[in-house]
Amino acid sequence: MKLVRYGPRGREKPGLIDAQGRLRDLSAHCATLGWDELSPAGLKRLAALDPRTLPAVRGEPRLGVPFTGISKFIGIGLNYRDHAIEAGMAIPSEPIVFMKATSCINGPCDPILLPPGSVKTDWEVELGIVIGREARRVAEAKALDHVAGYCVINDVSEREYQLERGSQWDKGKGCDSFGPIGPWLVTKDEVPDPQNLRLWLELNGERVQDGSTATMIFGVREIVSYLSRFMTLHPGDVIATGTPPGVGMGRKPQRFLGAGDTLRLGVEGLGEQRQTVRAA
């Protein structure tokens, strides 16, 4: 299934995308797409519905974050070898973990707002993991049992805040609008191999990132298992798994976002995001 939430910010309704790519309304069957719906039992109940019986939604409404109940927004840094090299940083021997503030969460096509005084705001297309069942000290072999599905994430990052102001990554990762998620939550049954997905990003129409999750240093199973040793993962928690090379920080000369820039990005089978950059 491709699950979505659509409508004005704060008043989104639940929906799904049918086999023909049409948006269908789920409001008669659930109030939102949250913890209950992301659970194995909840997803099974939604999967039993015939999309043809659901009302079609007219027009092209705004898409919000495709699920609710996000208690943690976790990032994995330098998880592509070539990206670590372009950043001039050591190849990690264990996953590098940071947190993105939940207040940064944004719809997939909502504008990116440059913080006042920002000089190094950057882009990062990433595969997102969405947790569907509580995970605590989970073995790698069982890790995917706790995953509801996957999504596209743009891990927007202000590099000066991240690297030049005390080296506390969270400061550069959690600004308002720095966490676009969606457009869809694609359930794991539609993603047979999360380690074989193409991901890409275009800046003002120029392809600047083009990679594959096959080159991740730490895969989905290992990431979920690893994180569950240090914190309990709850339904709705989302994990950004790292980005391939091609970010602005790694270009020569470096290139960062300015007002008026446009981004288009996607992950194979998970949909596309489009954003315009604005001054806050």
Q: Residue 245 — very low, low, confident or very high, per pLDDT cuts 50/70/90?
A: very high
224 and 108 in a common domain: yes
DSSP designation for 137 = S
Q: Is 103 left (phi over 0), alpha (psi -120 to 50) or beta?
A: alpha
Q: Is 247 left (phi over 0), alpha (psi -120 to 50) or beta?
A: beta
Q: Residue 239 — very low, low, confident or very high, per pLDDT cuts 50/70/90?
A: very high
pLDDT, tens digit (0-9, with 9 covering 90-100), for 100-158: 999 999 999 999 999 999 999 999 999 999 999 999 999 999 999 999 999 999 999 99
Q: How many domains does the chain have?
A: 2
141 and 84 in a common domain: yes
Q: Is residue 58 part of a domain?
A: no
77 and 49 in a common domain: no
Q: Is residue 60 part of a domain?
A: no
Q: Residue 95 — very low, low, confident or very high, per pLDDT cuts 50/70/90?
A: very high
From the number of C-beta atoms within 10 Å of its C-beta (0-12, 13-18, 19+), residue 210 rates as middle
156 and 93 in a common domain: yes
Per the structure, the complete domain to which residue 134 belongs is given by 73-279
Q: Report the predicted TM-score, pTM, of the whole model to 2 decimal places.
A: 0.96
Q: Is residue 65 part of a domain?
A: no
Looking at every residue in the chain, the average pLDDT score rounds to 96
Spatial separation of the C-alpha atoms in residues 57 and 193, rounded to whole Å: 31
Q: Is residue 268 part of a domain?
A: yes
pLDDT recorded at residue 219: 98
269 and 156 in a common domain: yes
88 and 32 in a common domain: no
82 and 49 in a common domain: no
| Closest CA relative to residue 270, chosen from 158, 203, 194, 156 | 194
pLDDT, tens digit (0-9, with 9 covering 90-100), for 206-227: 999 999 999 999 999 999 999 9
Give the mean model confidence (pLDDT) for residues 260-277: 98
Q: Is residue 143 part of a domain?
A: yes
Q: Is residue 121 part of a domain?
A: yes
pLDDT recorded at residue 161: 92
Q: Is residue 151 part of a domain?
A: yes
